[in-house]
Chain A
Amino acid sequence: MDTSDTSETGRIGETGRTEGAGEAARPVLEAPDIARALTRIAHEIVERAKGADDVVLLGIPTRGVFLARRLAGKLAEITGRSIPVGSLDITMYRDDLRLRPARALARTDIPGDGVDGRLVVLVDDVLFSGRTIRAALDALGDIGRPRAVQLAVLVDRGHRELPIRADYVGKNLPTSLRETVKVQLAEEDGRDTVLLGLKQPAASGER
């Protein structure tokens, strides 16, 4: 068993995002697009957070963590200060735990000074139903009381099932429910790209 595989957990309502992209998957964002999007988000954060003095970046495993670290790097370049960055695993807060086998947990790593009174920016790769973010807000609530919480995502593919929206979006990507969006990042997948594909019919019998 490759443990890194099991820690690559699926997300609520986002079936097919990391798997099931059929042969027809085509890139909609390439590495330079992703880099540009992150740079833009970093600037927006600095602007909206008035210098990003109290910003804490929390990535949602797996790929959200890598995106958060990249954002932290860019923020450091812009502000000249190092920005606290961590990870927030939402597995134990999911609302669909009982629909599937129990899954391996990913690391929750809160930077030393905590989140109390800070501006927490949650970072994830794809925003879809919004259930992942709902779980992340619950998880965050058990860790501390931030001054405010914002959300940054690389791709917003629509189809929200909860009243949640992103504060920073790399790319809005209108999709149909039959399509899949798959983000690949160099740290995990060896390359940076976002793939749009078609869901394979009845791949697992789940859902």
Chain B
Amino acid sequence: MLRLPGAGPRTPGHLISAADLSRDEAVLILDTAEEMARVADRPIKKLPTLRGRTVVNLFFEDSTRTRISFEAAAKRLSADVINFSAKGSSVSKGESLKDTALTLEAMGADAVVIRHGASGAPYRLATSGWIDGVVVNAGDGTHEHPTQALLDAFTLRRRLVGADAGIGRDLDGRRVTIVGDVLHSRVARSNVLLLHTLGAHVTVVAPPTLVPIGVERWPCEVSYDLDRVLPESDAVMMLRVQRERMNAAFFPTEREYSRRYGLNGERMGRMPGKSIVMHPGPMNRGMEITAEVADSDRCTAVEQVANGVSIRMAVLYLLLGGNEPAVTHSRLNAEENK
């Protein structure tokens, strides 16, 4: 026996990894988000559901987009929102995560939405016993970003299946291609896991330097050839590629990268008729995506932002709305009809 027992990654009652979600839980989140999306069309875009609950946005990394998305979601559910920006050079040692957590606990945080530069920090927060509240991973290092994957899945379902027709359904058989810096991308990791869980067929495309060693165990295919994969893609998700990677010799030049792996109008033209182009943002126009593609009707980048609020409302509601969470929880089906 080589392993210690009990070292699994499951974290009931929190949302840490897309891998923790079963197919039914993921569909429940998408269905709930669909109802949340309709609230945005009402004159009063607010629900009383989380009144009296405190949600802390604990951001150790700058990410205005993700933070305001969570903030809007929590506020639409009437939760009190505290934004805690812990970014800064003073926060380099780990004690600060623990001490910050203890502070939030003392303040009575019901949920902590955490963005952290270190992979595993949300898992650590959820399992360390430092806090009692619900932990939602808003992106950790190069590990995962599960709510991004959920909003991507939501966008895919709306576009490829239909907003109403999609209720209760997954992404069975849809072909999704994820292109770019898979190695450093938490978005890619979460999407591969979640989209696979939802029945989609996922292919990641990147230069070999930007595909992690060990990818062979991921539930997806790997290709180095974008042009071969494009005609068979119902959706192409372009990942942001940081120019700094060039300096670490992951690829020779920006120009070469975008020639081989960037999406331009000509390449988009070879995608199937109703297929879509996705981007988690912020986009590097001219790098992984041309302006022509980014501004086309097929690009869902803006829609993804709107969907992000609905998904995060759904996640917060399902984790915080009851006396116990309804997702990442094995007792989901029990006692529901009372």
A residues neighboring B (CB under 8 Å): 1, 3-6, 8-10, 15-16, 18-20, 89, 92-93, 97-108, 138, 142-144, 203-204, 206
Contacts and interface: CB of A to CB of B under 8 A. Distances in A.
A107 B36 CA distance: 10
Nearest to A206: B338
Contact of A10 (B32, B48, B337): B337
Contact of B321 (A102, A106, A108, A206): A102
Interface string B17-60: 00000001001100110011010001110111100000000000
Contacts of A15: 338
A3 B28 contact: yes
B336 A6 contact: yes
A92 B45 CA distance: 13
A93 B213 CA distance: 49
A3 B24 CA distance: 8
B333 A100 contact: no
Given A107-B35, A143-B42, A6 B322 contact: no
Nearest to B321: A102
A206 B335 contact: yes
User: Chain B: interface residue count, which band?
Assistant: 35 or more
Nearest to A1: B24
A142 B35 contact: no
Contacts of B38: 108
Nearest to B27: A3
Q: Which 7 residue pairs are nearest across A and B when measured between Cβ atoms? A: A102-B322, A102-B321, A1-B24, A102-B326, A105-B35, A101-B322, A142-B44
Nearest to A145: B43
A142 B46 contact: yes
A51 to B, nearest CB: 28
B338 A100 contact: yes
Given A15-B338, A99-B323, A104 B31 contact: yes
Given A3-B168, A92-B47, A101-B329, A10 B338 contact: yes
19 contacts: A1-B28, A1-B332, A8-B337, A15-B338, A16-B338, A19-B338, A92-B321, A93-B47, A93-B48, A101-B324, A101-B329, A102-B318, A102-B319, A102-B324, A102-B326, A106-B35, A142-B44, A204-B335, A206-B338
Nearest to B23: A1
Interface of B: 24, 27-28, 31-32, 35-36, 38, 42-44, 46-49, 77, 167-168, 317-326, 329, 331-333, 335-338
B34 to A, nearest CB: 9
B337 A102 contact: no
Nearest to A3: B168
Nearest to B44: A142
Contacts of A4: 168
Contacts of A103: 321-322, 326, 336
Nearest to B333: A1
A206 B52 CA distance: 23
A144 B43 contact: yes
A1 B25 CA distance: 9
A17 to B, nearest CB: 9
A144 B321 CA distance: 24
A143 to B, nearest CB: 6
Given A6-B28, A15-B338, A106-B35, 6 more contacts: A1-B333, A3-B28, A9-B337, A20-B338, A92-B48, A97-B321
